[in-house]
Every structure is written in structure tokens, then in C-alpha cells.
């Protein structure tokens, strides 16, 4: 058994078992309609969680993403309302802003030697504050293009709808997998998470990689904001509070080590789907309080952290044994 | 000096390389010549300048003076990556690779074969398999590095360094955490590289291994070149002499202190004291007012003896008595309570608290001994600090100066003052004169003599043999983690100590191999 893939396998196994249990009680849960909704409802979380996966693999954390999503929604709504710009230029402008915002946080982390936790916490307040500056109230989006985008879907067999935003999330996941596994940037991110000092000695461009990682997270948070704006047809500065924590939870449940250096983007998708599945089950059941979602996710998270610790511990013992015996 | 390959330009030649740090001259005009296809051992005790020289060669330090030529061209590496591009690769004792990446990724990080911008994993893994096979490794290159033994990781590190640099390979204590069999595997890989014409610098404190693998040996001492000779023309005794002893001037030959009477019951008596894996059980009686020196090479068990005595690593065999009464040791607390003091070798990491003032540093041990419930008043601390500043001649403007701002010798005196404040009966000093200038050196030696005249018992570890001879009544010689000889009074000379250290030991690596 490979220690690298064990957490991922555990996640997949839990997902299959959980889905099977839900299916036994509510056979409809396996229909493409439910699956389609699962993807649509969690599209913004899935996209931002892919960015978070890169950040966590690199050994960092990005607490700003929830606020950036809210900022993005308000920015889109206000720009569409108050300027003559169409949605596409607004989207492009937003993605440039959030990408630069991420890169600036990465630069601060690297050049000022600040802990990512503090820098992105500051980024969180900053982005939320900027959203308030733009508008305190919820701003509706009445744009023709956006309502078209909202209604776009591909009818899957079984009458399920794979919406544009659900599909976009899957595309982001696939691109994320390729970038993580098949590019030098991806390997550099893993190298950074394995040890920044060693990575530097091995020639990894640490400054550039750190900035790129947070820029990717910022870009995906902006993209997630666009998806959320399409999904809700509004921009509200109080929206998506705590989504960064949901994203972190999805990443960890997806088998990525919080200490960095190990994890998979594919696992994060499963993590998001597990969280969505719990929510769906509670809706199907109808009698359970929606707070059970949080409790179930909390338990899962705890379980995974314990599993990770056990793996790290077992790995350490094995290396010790290997070093002792040879 | 003789060139190893006359008429040819040596692969790497360092001439008159110097490097100073505030307070010390770490390298003083050192020459070093490495030929192609040569394994060149670089030897010396801690602080001799080995690592400073290596760091100047690899660009980790910028040299202050001198010249480094690679294949006849003058080079000036800015950092380790630059040195690597020039052709000088380094592998350290702690493997500097990423255990979370696969073997193949570690080998090719930053240089992965790509296709249209994407890493071609299949090609990378194929190349990695071919590369590791050259070193006699049959391993799954797609598994993470961390799942393999240190020896394999070490060879992977070498393979990476050679692939990226390809001319000079510097191995800094590569065998420190390997067992006998793994050392053989590593040496096989080194011999293969030698045949390919690489120049290899081998740093190790295992003399057996040095004699097995090296063609030539350069010895440094106190930042100066002692000599460079072919391994075949050197024997163990002469090598140890080069490492530890200055050339003896026949007329001023000095011996250890005499006049200690051993008929009285000793103040402290350790019987069968030891700890498995650190130091073999030893007997050690110590008289009132006696200085016992401990001599041996780096890694021989000198520091381990001190640490087990002081309870840094509790003893697992043997007993101790103090004036005929049983003494319960086993922790540093117990040792302090019994009136022991310990000045460790690396004061920067093990003792001094640079941000605290001289006064606070001196008060620490005494405060710990009387308990934190009864704090020493600032006034008393100040009186005490001023007293020690005067008695030990600590050069400082006042007692409130942070210790980190003092020179090495003065820091050492503050550490000494800390223990003297507790009025210990038995004081252990590990390399008390390391890294301090000549003036402070003499003062510390004078202090040691004064303390023993006052009736204190001392155990002093030092690689400066002349120094040990000056103040020791008795010298214990350690080798291979065991006490192997004891010299008393007139028998103590640098020559007898060197002889005792160099006496060819039982081949421990063979013994280890037999048990595997």
C-alpha cells in the first residue's frame, strides 16, 4: 500500500459507502437529476477548493477566498449596474484583480517571511471590506447574458441537467489535476510543501512558485465568485461567509495533508461531493436539522486528521526501521 | 607543493583561500588540490575549517581571499546552485532531498523532460530507472523517496548531484547514519564515479573509512593547512598526529600534572557507568581538586561521556557514589542537585540565551537550583554578576548587556560564571576553548587551574592535546564509544595520547558486518 495514495483511497471508499447507504434508503439519490444538482449546488465550492488544494499542498493556507467570492459577486453586480460594461469585460477585469490580489498575498508571504495564516487573514478582511465599500445591500443582477448562462445545461441521460457552472467545475478539476501532476509548476508546488528550504537548495524558484500558488487561488476564487453570481443572480457583501473553511474541510477530507507536500486535486472533488452528499441526504430525509451537515462534516474532518496523523506516524516508524536495519 | 598529477592541470585547485568571521579566522590561506578520478579525504576536528572550506568551494560562503580554479579557470561561485552549474555538487549528511516526492521527481526536479510544456512522466521514470541502475540500485522510482532507507536516499542524492554538476562531488559526512553494509554500497557507488573521472571530496571522521576509500588526504587544523599526503604513504599514527598534535618540539616536551594522591577515597566514584548506543560502561573515580582530561577523535564518545555523566542522556548501567554514599543520578536535575555543572560544547544551541543579559544568564543555574519559588533579588543578581565579571575578566560595558553581543570567549566565561555561581563540586567542560581567540584561550586555561586549586573536581574534554597536557592530572582516552586507556601524571604527553588514540582498533565495521 502506498502511503501517498492511501488517504485518497480512504476518501473514495467513504464516498462510495456513503452513497450506497443513501441509495439503500433513497434510491432516487443515484439519479442523474440529483447528481446534476449536486454538481451545480457545489460548483463554486469545488472551484475554490481546487485553488485551496494547491495552496495547502504548497504548505500554506488561504483564508481570503470566501471574502474574495463575496467581493466578486458585489463587484460584478455593481459594475453591471453602474457602468456600461458588458458581463465579459467585467469578468475579465475581475479575474485580473483577484489574481493580482492573490499574487500580492503570495509576495507578502514570501518576501516579508510572514505566516500565510496572518497574511491571508488580512486579505480576508480587506476583500470583505472592499465588498462593503462597493455596496452594503444585496445588488440584483439583471443581465440578459448572465441569465442565459444560468439556464445553459446539457441534458444527461435520465433527465439530469449538467449546468454550465457544474460543468465548469469539472473542467477546473480536470485542468487542476493536469497542472498538479503534469507540469513543472505542479511538481514545484509539491516540492515547496515538502520543505521550502530543501526545495530552494534543489533549485525550485520558491518566490515565483509561492506567488503563483496564491495567484492560482485568487484566480479560482474570482472564477468561483463569477459562478456564484451566476448561480444566485445577485451580489451581496455578506454572502459566502466561512466558505474558506468549507474549502479547507473539503481539501482535508479529500486526503490532502494539512502539513503540505501530499494530496490530490481529484481527492478534493470527492471531498466536495461528500459534503454535498451529506447535505442532500438531510434534504431528502426532511426531518433532520440542517445543522447535522456541520456535525457530520466535523466528524469526518476529525476522522481524516486522525488518519493523517496515523499515516505520518506509521511512515516515520517505517523510515526509522529502514534506517536502523537497512 | 607536489602536484598529484605533474604536468596536468588539476581538476580543482584552491589556493590560499581565507575566510574570517567576527572574532575568528576560520580559514587561513588554505591550499587544496583535487585531481580527476581522485577520492580526496578532508580531515580535521570540529572547528578545523573543513566545512568552511567546503562552503567556500560550493558558494555557500563567499571567500575573503585566495583563488579557486576549476579545470584551470578561475571561478567564484555565488551560491550552491551556481556552483552546481559550474560543476561542483554537494551531498550532505542529512539528505537534502524531498521525501514526499518520488525518486524520479527528486532526480529530475527542475529538469523534468517535457513535451509541449507538460512533464513526460513516462520518460522521466524511464530515465530515472536507467540512472539508478548505474549506481547498482534496483528500486521502484515511482515510490516516494521517504519510503527508502537513508543509504538509498544518499545514493539518490549523489546521483542527482553528479547528473547536475558532473565534475566535482563533495560528500560531507555521507556515512554518518549508515550501517556497515550500507557503507559498502555507498563506497561501490563512489568507486564507480571515480572511474568515470570525477573528483570526489570525502569528509568523514571515521578513519577506517578514510583509509579504505581515499587516495589522498588533506588535514586542516584551526583553520590552517597541516598537510596533504597520499593515503598510501600515511599511517594511522601520523594521521592522528596531524589532526591533533602540533609537531613536538623535543626540548619543551611537557607532561601532565603530578602530585595527585590516589590513596584517599575519591570524591566521586562512577562504577560501570554507561548507556547503550552512547558510551560503553566505564569506571571513573575523581579526586577532590583533580582535573581529568578526556581525549579522543570527533565522534569517539567524548561528549557522550559528559552527557551520560550529567544525565542529559540518563545512564542505563552502573552506579555512582559521592564520598562513599550512593548517589542517585539519571537526570540533569539530579546532577545539578548533586553539585554537578556542565558546560556543553555548542554554547550557541545548548546553553547561552543570547537575548538575555549577562546578569540574567549568570543567575539562571543558581535560580534553578534554589527553586523558582524563591526568586533572587535583582540586587543580589547584580552583585553576583559584577563579582564574576571582575573575577573572570569578562569584557563588557555592564552586566545588563545581552550576551549575544559579546565575543565567543566572553560568552564562554558567562557560561562558566553561570555554573560557578552554583558553587559546584564537579564541573564538566566540553571543549571550553573552542572558537575563542588566543588571549581568552589562555585565560580559560588559567581559570581551570585556579578552580582545581580551590578543590573543585573537573572533567575537561578537548581536542587540543597540548592544552589537556597542561592542566590534566589524568587523561582518559576514548575510542569507538568506549574508554580505552588512562594516562596518569608524567605519562601524559601529546605523544602518548596520540599513540593511545591511534592504536589500531578492532575492526568494528567487520565486527558489525559479522552480526548482520
Tens-digit pLDDT profile for residues B276-300: 888 889 999 999 889 999 998 877 8
Within-domain flag for B86: yes
pLDDT tens-place string over residues B168-217: 999 988 887 777 788 888 898 899 999 999 999 999 878 888 999 999 99
Q: Give chain B positions within 8 Å (CB) of A325.
A: 149
CB contact under 8 A, B144 and A323: no
ipTM of the complex: 0.86
From CA B129, how far away is CA B140, in angstroms rounded? 8
B389 and B510 share one domain: yes
Give yes or no for a contact between B363 and B386, defined as CB atoms under 8 angstroms apart. no
Number of domains making up chain B: 2
* Nearest Cα residue to A271 out of A53, A69, A54: A53
A262: left (phi over 0), alpha (psi -120 to 50) or beta: beta
3-state secondary structure of A79: helix
B308 and B358 share one domain: yes
Residue A1 pLDDT > 50 = no
Mean pLDDT check: name the lowest of A185-189, B137-141, B387-391, B503-507. B503-507
A290 interfaces chain B, CB cutoff of 8 Å: no
Average pLDDT over chain A, rounded to an integer: 90
3-state secondary structure of A31: coil
A6-313 folds as ABC transporter involved in vitamin B12 uptake, BtuC (1.10.3470)
- Out of A129-133, B233-237, B380-384, B398-402, give the one with best mean pLDDT: A129-133
pLDDT of B24 reads: 72
**b/e map of B299-317 (b: 16 or more CB within 10 Å)?**
bbbbbbbbbbbbbbeebee
pLDDT of B2 reads: 45
* Nearest Cα residue to B222 out of B41, B46, B379: B46
B434 and B339 share one domain: yes
Phi, psi angles (nearest 5°) of residue A234: -160, 160
Query: Terminal CA-to-CA distance of chain A, rounded, Å?
Result: 20
Within-domain flag for B430: yes
For A179, name the nearest residue in chain B, comparing CA atoms only: B118
State the pairing for strand pair B88-91/B168-172.
Answer: parallel
Within-domain flag for B438: yes
CATH code where residue B428 lies: 3.40.50.300
From CA B118, how far away is CA B122, in angstroms rounded? 11
CB contact under 8 A, B100 and A193: yes
Within-domain flag for B419: yes
Give yes or no for a contact between B358 and B396, defined as CB atoms under 8 angstroms apart. yes
Give yes or no for a contact between B319 and B299, defined as CB atoms under 8 angstroms apart. no
3-state secondary structure of B456: coil
Within-domain flag for B241: no
Contacts A–B by Cβ distance under 8 A: 84
**b/e map of B232-244 (b: 16 or more CB within 10 Å)?**
eebebeebbbbbb
**Domain span at B288:** 268-514
Phi, psi angles (nearest 5°) of residue B298: -55, 130
B158 and B296 share one domain: no
B309 and B174 share one domain: no
Within-domain flag for B111: no
- CB contacts under 8 A, A 247-266 vs B, are 261-262
pLDDT tens-place string over residues B413-435: 888 888 888 888 999 998 887 76
Within-domain flag for B321: yes
Grid cell locating A81: 449596474
What is the H or E stretch that residue A235 is in?
strand A234-235
B121 interfaces chain A, CB cutoff of 8 Å: yes
B293 and B216 share one domain: no
Phi, psi angles (nearest 5°) of residue A139: -105, 115
B306 and B447 share one domain: yes
A190 interfaces chain B, CB cutoff of 8 Å: yes
pLDDT tens-place string over residues B117-145: 899 999 999 999 999 998 888 899 999 89
Give yes or no for a contact between B53 and B31, defined as CB atoms under 8 angstroms apart. no
What is the H or E stretch that residue A250 is in?
helix A243-253
Phi, psi angles (nearest 5°) of residue B192: -60, -45
pLDDT of B516 reads: 35
Report percent pLDDT > 90 for chain A.
Answer: 70
B71: left (phi over 0), alpha (psi -120 to 50) or beta: left
Name beta bridge partners: B39.
B200
> Span B146-173, mean pLDDT?
89
Mutate to test the interface with B, among A178, A323, A324, A325 (most CBs of B within 10 A): A323
pLDDT tens-place string over residues A36-90: 999 999 999 999 999 999 999 999 999 999 999 999 999 999 999 999 899 999 9
- Out of A74-78, B20-24, B506-510, give the one with best mean pLDDT: A74-78
Query: Terminal CA-to-CA distance of chain B, rounded, Å?
Result: 44
B193 and B283 share one domain: no
B77 and B18 share one domain: yes
A318 interfaces chain B, CB cutoff of 8 Å: yes
Calculate the CA B222 to chain-centre distance: 13
Amino acid at each position: 500500500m502506498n502511503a501517498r495514495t492511501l488517504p485518497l483511497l480512504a476518501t473514495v471508499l467513504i464516498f462510495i459507502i456513503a452513497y450506497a447507504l443513501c441509495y439503500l434508503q433513497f434510491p432516487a439519490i443515484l439519479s442523474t437529476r440529483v447528481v446534476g444538482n449536486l454538481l451545480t449546488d457545489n460548483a463554486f465550492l469545488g472551484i475554490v477548493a481546487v485553488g485551496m488544494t494547491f495552496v495547502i499542498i504548497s504548505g500554506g493556507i488561504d483564508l481570503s477566498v470566501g471574502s474574495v467570492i463575496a467581493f466578486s459577486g458585489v463587484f460584478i453586480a455593481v459594475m453591471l449596474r453602474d457602468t456600461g460594461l458588458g458581463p465579459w469585460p467585467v469578468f475579465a477585469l475581475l479575474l485580473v484583480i483577484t489574481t493580482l490580489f492573490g499574487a500580492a498575498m503570495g509576495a507578502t508571504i514570501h518576501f516579508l517571511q510572514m505566516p500565510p495564516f496572518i497574511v491571508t487573514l488580512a486579505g480576508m478582511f480587506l476583500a470583505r471590506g472592499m465588498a462593503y465599500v462597493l455596496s452594503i445591500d444585496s445588488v440584483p443582477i439583471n443581465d440578459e447574458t448572465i441569465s442565459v448562462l444560468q439556464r445553459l445545461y446539457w441534458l444527461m441521460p435520465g433527465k439530469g441537467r449538467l449546468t454550465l457552472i457544474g460543468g465548469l467545475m469539472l473542467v477546473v478539476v480536470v485542468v487542476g489535476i493536469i497542472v498538479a501532476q503534469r507540469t513543472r509548476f505542479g511538481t514545484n508546488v509539491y516540492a515547496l510543501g515538502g520543505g521550502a528550504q530543501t526545495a530552494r537548495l534543489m533549485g525550485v524558484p520558491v518566490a515565483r512558485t509561492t506567488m503563483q500558488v496564491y495567484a492560482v487561488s485568487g484566480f479560482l476564487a474570482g472564477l468561483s465568485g463569477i459562478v456564484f453570481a451566476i448561480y444566485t443572480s445577485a451580489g451581496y457583501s455578506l454572502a459566502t461567509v466561512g466558505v474558506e473553511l468549507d474549502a479547507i474541510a473539503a481539501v482535508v477530507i479529500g486526503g490532502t495533508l494539512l502539513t503540505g507536500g501530499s494530496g490530490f486535486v481529484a481527492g478534493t472533488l470527492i471531498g466536495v461531493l461528500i459534503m454535498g452528499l451529506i447535505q442532500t441526504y438531510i434534504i431528502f430525509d426532511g426531518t433532520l436539522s440542517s445543522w447535522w451537515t456541520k456535525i457530520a462534516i466535523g466528524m469526518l474532518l476529525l476522522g481524516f486528521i486522525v488518519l493523517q496523523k496515523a499515516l505520518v506516524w506509521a511512515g516515520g516508524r517505517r523510515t526509522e526501521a529502514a534506517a536502523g536495519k537497512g | 607543493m607536489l602536484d598529484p598529477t605533474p604536468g596536468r592541470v588539476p581538476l580543482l585547485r584552491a589556493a590560499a583561500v581565507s575566510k574570517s568571521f567576527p572574532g575568528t579566522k576560520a580559514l587561513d590561506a588554505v591550499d587544496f588540490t583535487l585531481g580527476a578520478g581522485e577520492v580526496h579525504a578532508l580531515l580535521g576536528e570540529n572547528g578545523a575549517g573543513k566545512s568552511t572550506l567546503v562552503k567556500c568551494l560550493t558558494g555557500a560562503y563567499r571567500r575573503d581571499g585566495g583563488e579557486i580554479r576549476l579545470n584551470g579557470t578561475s571561478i567564484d561561485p555565488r551560491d550552491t546552485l551556481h556552483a552546481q552549474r559550474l560543476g561542483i555538487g554537494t551531498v550532505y549528511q542529512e539528505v537534502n532531498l524531498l521525501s514526499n516526492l518520488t525518486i524520479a521527481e527528486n532526480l529530475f526536479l527542475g529538469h523534468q523532460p517535457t513535451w509541449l510544456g507538460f512533464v513526460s512522466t513516462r520518460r522521466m521514470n524511464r530515465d530515472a530507472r536507467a540512472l539508478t541502475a548505474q549506481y547498482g540500485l534496483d528500486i521502484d522510482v515511482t515510490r516516494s523517496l521517504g519510503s527508502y532507507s537513508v543509504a538509498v536516499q544518499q545514493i539518490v542524492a549523489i546521483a542527482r548531484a553528479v547528473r547536475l554538476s558532473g565534475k566535482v562531488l563533495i560528500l560531507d559526512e555521507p556515512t554518518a547514519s549508515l550501517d556497515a553494509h550500507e557503507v559498502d554500497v555507498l563506497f561501490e557507488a563512489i568507486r564507480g564515479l571515480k572511474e568515470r573521472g570525477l573528483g570526489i571530496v570525502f569528509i568523514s571522521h571515521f578513519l577506517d573509512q578514510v583509509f579504505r576509500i581515499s587516495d589522498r588526504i588533506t588535514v586542516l587544523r584551526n583553520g590552517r593547512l597541516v598537510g596533504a599526503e597520499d593515503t598510501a604513504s600515511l599511517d594511522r599514527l601520523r594521521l592522528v598526529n596531524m589532526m591533533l598534535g602540533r609537531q613536538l618540539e623535543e626540548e619543551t616536551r611537557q607532561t601532565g600534572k603530578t602530585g595527585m594522591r590516589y590513596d584517599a577515597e575519591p570524591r566521586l566514584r562512577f562504577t560501570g557507568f554507561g548507556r547503550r548506543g552512547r558510551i560503553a560502561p566505564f569506571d571513573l573515580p575523581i579526586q577532590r581538586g583533580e582535573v581529568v582530561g578526556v581525549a579522543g577523535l570527533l565522534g569517539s564518545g567524548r561528549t557522550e561521556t559528559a552527557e551520560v555523566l550529567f544525565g542529559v542522556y540518563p545512564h542505563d548501567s552502573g552506579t555512582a557514589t559521592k564520598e562513599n554514599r550512593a548517589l542517585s543520578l539519571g537526570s540533569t536535575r539530579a546532577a545539578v542537585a548533586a553539585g554537578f555543572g556542565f558546560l556543553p560544547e555548542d554554547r550557541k544551541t545548548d546553553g547561552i540565551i543570547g537575548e538575555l543579559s549577562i546578569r540574567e544568564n549568570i543567575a539562571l543555574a543558581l535560580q534553578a537550583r534554589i527553586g523558582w519559588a524563591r526568586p533572587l533579588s535583582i540586587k543580589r543578581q547584580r552583585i553576583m554578576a559584577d563579582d564574576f565579571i571582575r573575577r573572570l575578566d569578562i569584557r563588557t560595558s555592564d552586566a545588563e548587556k545581552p550576551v549575544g553581543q559579546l565575543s565567543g570567549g566572553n560568552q564562554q566565561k558567562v557560561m562558566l560564571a553561570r555554573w560557578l555561581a552554583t558553587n559546584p563540586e564537579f564541573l564538566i567542560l566540553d571543549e571550553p576553548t573552542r572558537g575563542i581567540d588566543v588571549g581568552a584561550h589562555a585565560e580559560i586555561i588559567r581559570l581551570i587551574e585556579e578552580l582545581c586549586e580551590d578543590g573543585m573536581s573537573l572533567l575537561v574534554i578537548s581536542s587540543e592535546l597540548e592544552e589537556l597536557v597542561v592542566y590534566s592530572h589524568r587523561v582518559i582516552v576514548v575510542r569507538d564509544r568506549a574508554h580505552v586507556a588512562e594516562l596518569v601524571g608524567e605519562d601524559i604527553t601529546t605523544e602518548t595520547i596520540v599513540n593511545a588514540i591511534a592504536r589500531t582498533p578492532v575492526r568494528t565495521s567487520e565486527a558489525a558486518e559479522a552480526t548482520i
